[in-house]
A = this chain, B = another copy of it.
Amino acid sequence: MDMSAARERLVVIGGDATGMSAASQARRLKGPDELEIVAFERGHFTSFSACGIPYWVGGDVDDRDDLIARTPEEHRARDIDLRLRTEVTEIDVAGGRVRARDVDSGAESWTSYDKLVIATGAGPIRPDMPGSDADGVHGVQTLDDGQALIDSLTRTRGRHAVVVGAGYIGVEMAEALIKRGYEVTVVNRGSEPMSTLDPDMGRLVREAMEGMGITMVDDAEVTKVHTGGDGRVRAVATQDAEYPADVVVLGIGVRPQTELARAAGLPLGSHGGLLTDLAMRVRGHENIWAGGDCVEVLDLVSGQERHIALGTHANKHGQVIGTNVGGGYATFPGVVGTAVSKVCDLEIARTGLREKDARRAGLQFEAVTIESTSRAGYYPNPSPMTVKMLAERRTGRLLGVQIVGREGAGKRVDIAAVALTAGMTVEQMTALDLGYAPPFSPVWDPVLVAARKATAAVRKGSS
């Protein structure tokens, strides 16, 4: 029997979390005799934690290499033919092949595949304005970005930093720059930071950030980056004012990098991400998978697709794809939209739908907000916490939870994440058997207090 005839080739585009998790998992299930694996990565690194970049910049993480979960050498030692600094420039779906270009030499060649994984990630949204690519203006999506920012901070030793955008990346970078001794201004398009929260909860974040000495500029759009004679950033202008800036960090979000997929005629959703089935196969394509920051995911609460760039989903996608490519069976059922972050000692968390998400999905709801503490009130350092909860009108189904507080607040959102996944009502939640002891929780956990209030609101508004 000729084994080579049965040998298939898997091509992976993108060497970060999804791509290399998929490759590794496929390799675990199928040896090199059965499956050849070729992975193309245009950068210098593999399997790194982009989520860790703010902590590297802020000095909590000493070494860039700490952010690398698995090096190119480790992947190669597992019989994965990893080609760094090699960018895929075209997918020929009909021909079952990809064209790749050596970034340094410019040489191009075609590689055929039996199975293809697209894990091209997301890229930062760059504001369309004069000076947005000036020296000292930095994205923070890749390790190269992070290194460039750190080099820039070290070289210029400036005083003023402007962060554009007040989402997760924005607030985390604000903290990182504060830690490096900068005076930080955050320029935010919305009325409150953290637009992933409702504005009433975002206001708590703004108040806390201002308390940390961060200047918050709301309802402002950056219109221009002013540069000096050396081509380096000097200030940032909005429609109303100008802010001195020795360095500018772009944290206005990311979009799926799906130009290749679009050119190949693969299906994209309304957020620009690839559309897949539950096994993470690109819709309509038996032998092409996609995952991570370049795909849209099903929101299990609203029933609609969303784009969420988050390492934890990317890793799960890689695991599911690798299992299926390797001949096993796994699915990714969707997300409930959980996210957690912190800025200094303020913890910020959400899961499920905000008020505007619920309205957009056609859902009517009751919203309640409660104040509680992370521990029993009489125990030392009971840190305050605000919990907002949305429940569907009449059915009482949990729709979403937002939490802003200090130590012990953030991960409490997991309770709601599991309850959302299970489709629980807020009244069912009031009976949840959560861990209680004075150092860990009041006798009614803050999530239960919110569930009780939401239950009362649903009952009262039950007509």
Contact = CB atoms under 8 A, between A and B. Distances in A.
B415 A52 contact: no
A418 B432 contact: yes
B418 A415 contact: yes
A437 interface: yes
B311 A443 contact: yes
Interface stretch (A5-13, A112-120, A191-199, A334-342): A334-342
Nearest to A312: B436
A421 B55 CA distance: 36
Contacts of A439: 55, 342
A349 interface: yes
B312 A444 contact: yes
A440 interface: yes
Contacts of A340: 435-437, 440-441
Contacts of A95: none
A51 interface: yes
A431 B316 contact: yes
A377 B68 CA distance: 11
A324 interface: no
Interface stretch (A59-67, A86-94, A285-293): A59-67
A407 to B, nearest CB: 9
Contacts of A337: 433
A433 B347 CA distance: 18
A378 B431 contact: no
Interface string A135-151: 00000000000000000
Contact of A379 (B52, B168, B341, B347): B52
Contact of A435 (B331, B414, B438): B414
Interface string A370-400: 0000001111100000000000000000000
A327 to B, nearest CB: 14
A263 interface: no
A295 B224 CA distance: 69
A445 to B, nearest CB: 8
A174 interface: no
A21 to B, nearest CB: 10
A269 interface: no
A422 interface: yes
A417 B433 contact: yes
Nearest to A407: B407
A315 interface: yes
A231 interface: no
Nearest to A63: B378
B437 A51 contact: yes
A333 B431 contact: yes
Nearest to A60: B380
Given A55-B379, A379-B52, A379-B55, A421 B443 contact: no
Interface in A265-324: 310-313, 315-316
A439 B409 CA distance: 13
Given A51-B438, A441-B411, A336 B378 contact: no
14 contacts: A49-B438, A51-B438, A52-B378, A61-B378, A313-B433, A332-B431, A338-B433, A338-B434, A342-B439, A410-B440, A417-B432, A417-B435, A418-B418, A421-B428
Interface of A: 17, 49, 51-52, 55, 60-61, 66-67, 69, 168, 172, 310-313, 315-316, 331-333, 335-342, 347, 349, 351, 376-380, 408, 410-415, 417-419, 421-422, 424, 428, 430-441, 443-445
